[in-house]
Amino acid sequence: MTDSNRVHIFDTTLRDAEQTPGASLTVKEKLEIAHQLARLNVDIIEAGFPLSSNEDFEAVRRIAHEVEGPMVCGLARALAKDIERAGEALKDAPNPRIHTFIGTSEIHMQGQMRKGREDVLKMAVRAVELAKSFCDSVEFSPMDAARTDPSFLHDVIEATIAAGATTINIPDTVGYAVPEQFGTLIADILDGVPNSKDAIISVHCHDDLGMAVVNTLSALKNGARQAECTLNGLGERAGNASLEEVVMALRTRRDYFGLDTEIDAHEIIATSRLVSRLMGIAVPPNKAIVGANAFAHSSGIHQDGVLKARNTFEIMEPKDVGLEDTEIVLTARSGRHALRHRIEELGFSLSAEELEDAYGRFLELADKKKEIFDEDLIEIVGGQQREETTHYTLEYLHTVSGTGTVPSSTVRIAIGDEVVQESAWGDGPVDATYAAIRKVTSADVLLEDFTIRAVTSGSQALGEVTVHLTEDGRSARGRGVSTDVVEASAEAYIAALNRLFELTERDAHPTV
């Protein structure tokens, strides 16, 4: 069916990771990520679940038509209405795939669907046949495969391949598998299902026990040739197998796995940052491959070793994943030309007008902090490209704090044509600011999470604040970046309020 050593990378950041609470993306943001996934050179992009919402439908349709390179996939339950909706979203697309699924473990069949084996098998076959009427490439997933009776699993796989499925995905939906057992499950499918060679066997692992990546690698070692993963390991609950870890493990330990992907690893860092920025979920500093400390050596012995010969303590080089070895630093004296050059190297393309805008912001920031690093530029350009509802706009912020002072804050916020000003006090300047914003907006929101980190180094570093707010069961994240952390905190809070406002509006005016 395929080169025996070639692993297909199926990215589900836009589908599985997008289900992370508060991480929902607009269609425009999904397109931006999809274009970057194409630069990363993933084989398949799972762009969404078309029946689930009109936004998902539109995202799948536009990505399938506008993004060149990867195959584009839409998810559908094993139901006619789901598959037809996916087929409609992918109609006339150059390279489409429908991914359909049904639960096959006793727990799912009895507990959730109240159906017997025979019915489930029939539904799976009918779903694949229907999907096949829309496109050649059809993927079928027996959901909760890791907890499915292996003999029934083999029957379902054989029947769905016979019905035309070109990829069979074995999901460990609940993150229950352990590596050796999961690898054996894959080897047994390849040995025991007579027509298994007519399809590519894929895996989709979750990280509930911290084994998503290692289960994926074990499956690949045992003959699976498609890995479903997400950037930064984001996804339902504890997340999915992380794309960057699977890809770099295969690459770094090619001696052991003997497998290749077509991924352009130099795009890993840029993709990771874009996903983190648009989903509003910070990458933990100790995260493998893409964390801020992934290539930082702090022990004296290690530093000494790396300076003498990199491979003493480094199994990968930072530049392999797109981290610049020598950072180019721009200052207020750098002209438009230098700025444009660096911005383009970072993967952005700007119109003349956008460049002018970026240059203005660059000078403003260079005034405050003198040296401008790549991370700063990504903020300058990425921030201006961010699509945001601006129901609330922060116009003025003044805080008073200090030892022996009651921290207080005054904010002025534009709400449409109206401008409202309020003051409040709190435990600190951020708390006081949030209290003042709540007074202005009369928002009854809960602050679920507040994180602050320095984007760049030094005391004049840009501070990045991410907040997670909930209101009436809706959940939204907001992000703010500034050299002033109180201002960044206020911006993040307002951004999350704007998202909540957008979600409320969407629910109040459903489109057909």
The interface region with Mn ion, picked from 11-19, 281-289, 383-391, 397-405 by CB under 5 A, is: 11-19
At closest approach, how far in Å is the CB of 45 from Mn ion?
15
* Token pair of 331 as six digits: 């200052």
Neighbouring C-beta atoms of residue 233, cutoff 10 Å: 27
Residue nearer to Mn ion on the CB measure, 16 or 139: 16
Of residues 32, 39, 33, 42, the one with CA closest to residue 11: 42
Taking CB positions, which residue lies at the least distance from Mn ion? Answer: 16
Residue nearer to Mn ion on the CB measure, 16 or 267: 16
Binding mask 71-110 for Mn ion (x = CB under 5 A): ----------------------------------------
Residue nearer to Mn ion on the CB measure, 15 or 438: 15
Residue nearer to Mn ion on the CB measure, 12 or 498: 12
Please answer whether residues 407 and 395 qualify as being in contact, where contact means their C-beta atoms are separated by less than 8 angstroms.
no
Find how far residue 42's CA is from the centre of its chain. 14
Mind giving me the DSSP string for 144-186? TGGGS-HHHHHHHHHHHHHTT-SEEEEEETTS---HHHHHHHH
> The dihedral of CA 370, 376, 377, 383: what is its sign?
negative
Residue nearer to Mn ion on the CB measure, 206 or 273: 206
Q: By CB under 5 A, tell whether 376 contacts Mn ion.
A: no
Instruction: Work out which of 11, 16, 375, 376 binds Mn ion, going by CB under 5 A.
Output: 16
Please answer whether residues 366 and 398 qualify as being in contact, where contact means their C-beta atoms are separated by less than 8 angstroms.
no
At closest approach, how far in Å is the CB of 187 from Mn ion?
23
Number of shown-chain residues binding Mn ion (CB under 5 A): 1
At closest approach, how far in Å is the CB of 12 from Mn ion?
7
Helix/strand/coil (H/E/C) assignment for every residue in 215-249: HHHHHHHCCCCEEEEEHHHCCCCCCECEHHHHHHH
At closest approach, how far in Å is the CB of 488 from Mn ion?
33
Residue nearer to Mn ion on the CB measure, 208 or 422: 208
Strand 226-229 with 8-11, pairing = parallel
Q: Looking only at residues 148 through 187 of this chain, which bind Mn ion when binding is defined by CB under 5 A? A: none
Q: Residue 468 in 3-state DSSP?
A: strand
Residue nearer to Mn ion on the CB measure, 217 or 486: 217
Residue nearer to Mn ion on the CB measure, 101 or 348: 101
At closest approach, how far in Å is the CB of 17 from Mn ion?
9
The interface region with Mn ion, picked from 13-21, 208-216, 260-268, 284-292 by CB under 5 A, is: 13-21
Please answer whether residues 482 and 463 qualify as being in contact, where contact means their C-beta atoms are separated by less than 8 angstroms.
yes
At closest approach, how far in Å is the CB of 224 from Mn ion?
16
- In order of 140, 171, 280, 347, 413, the CA distances from 267 in angstroms are 29, 27, 20, 9, 39
Binding site for Mn ion (CB under 5 A): 16
